[in-house]
Structures are given as structure tokens and as C-alpha cells.
């Protein structure tokens, strides 16, 4: 079975452009590329799981979203990192859809499709809904950044609260039994 780091996309790997619709506007966060390369060396695979309500709002064209994900995948492939899949929930928050985080639907779908051991996997995101999706799926979770302090959340705290992706990678590596 695979061990995976599930990553949220916006403000986790790339700069959040608020309904990113232009593939030319992709900007990677510091340590995003080299961080995944380091984790790959510890036998982690990667799946991107992202809420994309901009589709339902008519602000993001699904063709552009696919192109954005294709370009991200190609940039990681260029440095020898393969991303297993990009899963997205194109639903409004009010729908409470099972695929939309904090629900674990995207993680469980990936686990089924790619034979992922959720107990050996991690969820990393910039919101407590990402942390909660990981917990509900059975992974350990890391909150990245200061957008949502965990102490103000109705959800269980993350296993670690990181300032940047470098700290995320160090924590995962230090907590990976070999």
C-alpha cells in the first residue's frame, strides 16, 4: 500500500489567486517544489485535493482548471516528482457535498483508487477544513500558515502547525518510521 501526502492546492503549494482561472497566474510558494522532492525521497506519493467552488459560481472554467493542474503536474514532473492525481470538489459550500472538505470524500476516493494506506498518510492544508478532512479520512494532518488559528476552530487540532512548507516536510520526515 502507498503512503501519501495529500495537499490542498491554494496557499499550500501555490499562491491563492482567489478563483484562479488563468493558467499563466500560477505562482509556487517557497519550498513547494523542493519540499515534495524531499518527501518523494522518503517514498511518499502525492495527491492534490482542492475545493473549487469557483466552478459552481461560474468564475472558473473547468477547462482552465484542468490546464492549471496539467501545468502543475508538468512542473513537478520536470524535477522528478509525480503527482498521482488532482481531485477537486466543484461545489458551493452550502451544498455540504461529501467530496467537499471538511468531508473526507476526495481522500477516500484517492485511497480506493490508488491503494493508499491512510494511517501512514498525511493531509496538509492552510485551513482547518483541510485538517478535519484528513482526520475524518484517518490520516494525520498539518495546518500550514496562520490563516486560521487552530485554537479558534470547532475541529480537532492538527498534529502540527507549520509556518512554511520546509517545516511541513521536516515534521513529516521526522515522524516517518523507516
Domain locations in the chain? 3-123+132-174
Active site residue 146: no
Question: What average pLDDT does the structure give for the chain?
Answer: 96
Task: Reduce the DSSP state of residue 78 to 3 states and report it.
Answer: helix
Which of 10, 45, 126, 130 is flagged as catalytic? Answer: 10
Please tell me the pTM assigned to this model.
0.96
Active site residue 8: yes
pLDDT of res. 153: 93
CATH topology of domain 3-123+132-174: Rossmann fold (3.40.50)
At residue 178, the pLDDT reads: 62
Q: What is the pLDDT of residue 177?
A: 74
- For residue 32, what pLDDT is reported? 95
pLDDT > 90 fraction of the chain, expressed in percent and rounded? 97
Here the cell at position 46 is 502525492
Per DSSP, what are the bridge partners of residue 167? Answer: none
User: Among 114, 120, 122, 127, which residue's Cα sits nearest to residue 50?
Assistant: 127
How many percent of the chain have pLDDT more than 70?
99
pLDDT digits (tens, 9 = 90+) for 62-73: 999 999 999 999
1-60 residue pLDDT tens: 999 999 999 999 999 999 999 999 999 999 999 999 999 999 999 999 999 999 999 999
Which residues are within 8 A (CB) of 15 and not within 5 positions of it... i.e. 6 or more apart? 27, 28, 29
- Mean pLDDT throughout 132-136? 98
Amino acid at each position: 500500500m502507498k503512503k501519501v501526502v495529500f495537499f490542498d492546492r491554494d496557499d499550500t503549494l501555490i499562491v491563492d489567486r482567489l478563483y484562479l482561472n488563468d493558467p499563466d497566474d500560477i505562482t509556487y510558494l517557497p519550498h513547494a517544489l523542493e519540499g515534495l522532492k524531499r518527501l518523494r525521497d522518503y517514498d511518499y506519493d502525492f495527491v492534490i485535493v482542492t475545493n473549487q467552488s469557483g466552478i459552481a459560481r461560474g468564475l472558473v472554467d473547468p477547462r482552465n482548471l484542468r490546464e492549471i493542474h496539467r501545468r502543475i503536474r508538468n512542473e513537478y514532473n520536470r524535477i522528478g516528482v509525480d503527482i498521482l492525481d488532482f481531485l477537486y470538489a466543484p461545489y458551493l459550500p452550502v451544498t455540504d457535498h461529501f467530496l467537499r472538505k471538511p468531508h473526507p470524500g476526495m481522500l477516500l476516493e484517492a485511497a480506493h483508487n490508488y491503494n493508499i494506506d491512510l494511517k501512514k498518510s498525511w493531509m496538509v492544508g492552510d485551513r482547518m477544513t483541510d485538517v478535519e478532512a484528513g482526520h475524518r479520512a484517518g490520516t494525520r494532518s498539518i495546518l500550514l500558515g496562520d490563516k486560521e488559528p487552530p485554537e479558534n476552530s470547532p475541529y480537532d487540532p492538527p498534529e502540527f502547525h507549520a509556518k512554511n512548507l520546509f517545516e511541513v516536510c521536516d515534521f513529516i520526515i521526522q515522524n516517518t518510521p523507516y
